Amino acid sequence: MHRFFTTEIQENTAVVRGDDVKHIAKVLRLRAGDVVQLCDGRGNECDAVIASVSSDAVTFDTQPWHAAVTEPDTKVTLFQCLPKAGKMETIIQKCVELGISAFVPVQSERCVVVLKPPYEGRIERWQRVSEEAAKQSRRGVIPQVNLPVSLGKLDFSAFDTVLVAFENEHAVSLKAALREGCGTRIAIVIGPEGGFSDAEIETLTGKGAQSVSLGTRILRTETAGMAMLAQIMYEVEP
């Protein structure tokens, strides 16, 4: 069943506007009487019947709303150091499918890409990638892509556990860290193509982060976050 997000909701009706209107009418060729799923972006969903389609809006008659079953109880935020080229789009897409809650782009010492303000255009594009992936994977929320921040200014005070993937960590594995218990608010930090410097690891651990090994093989930056997130979800989901 096709899935759309909207915040324009009343008691028994809802309205979808914007680019989704064209997709519904011209691409999917849905008409009055067809049934879709709607999501309010806050973890609630319902089946809805199309009542009318116009050039700028689709109106729905909604069934009772209920909590989306696809949202994990554990909320994971990915702090991703900026990768080259279009890798960020792939990272966002796949991590949304795996259950990420939010993204924070990070500028670190070895990042080849340097983002300079204004950031709005880049963030808007990444947010669209997140939304499309949320629709495809039937998420109950659209994970938020936040503004970039430099590594030295990272604030982990909102998290129960902060895990940093580090290729020179040999004492603590991700598996071991997870089985010690991580709470329900987890941050994972992934370095750029060149990895983290020892000084950056000291900065991160000084902020309360735990460096962990992802195994004997070195993963690319676009792979590491996905692998880490998949292992976390395997461990914490029922």
- Placement of tokens 């989306």 in the chain: 68
Q: Are 162 and 203 in contact, with CB atoms under 8 Å apart?
A: no
Q: Which of 16, 48, 53 is nearest to 31 (CA)?
A: 53
Q: Are 33 and 12 in contact, with CB atoms under 8 Å apart?
A: no
Per-residue pLDDT averaged across 19-40, rounded? Answer: 95
182 pLDDT higher than 80 = yes
Q: What is the pLDDT of residue 67?
A: 94
From CA 142, how far away is CA 161, in angstroms rounded?
23
The full set of domains in the chain, from first to last, is: 3-67 (2.40.240.20), 75-236 (3.40.1280.10)
191 pLDDT higher than 90 = yes
**Which pLDDT band holds residue 230 (cuts at 50, 70, 90)?**
very high
Q: What is the pLDDT of residue 20?
A: 94
Burial of 155 (0-12, 13-18, 19+ CB in 10 A): exposed
Q: Which two tokens stand for residue 224?
A: 């590491």
104 pLDDT higher than 80 = yes
CA geometry: angle 178, 131, 8, nearest 5 deg: 120
Per-residue pLDDT averaged across 131-159, rounded? Answer: 95
Per-residue pLDDT averaged across 191-204, rounded? Answer: 95
Give tens-digit pLDDT for 54-70: 999 999 999 999 999 89
Q: Which two tokens stand for residue 34?
A: 């067809």
From CA 96, how far away is CA 168, in angstroms rounded?
28
Residue-averaged pLDDT of the chain: 95
Give tens-digit pLDDT for 114-123: 888 888 899 9
Give tens-digit pLDDT for 105-115: 999 999 998 88
85 pLDDT higher than 90 = no
238 pLDDT higher than 80 = no
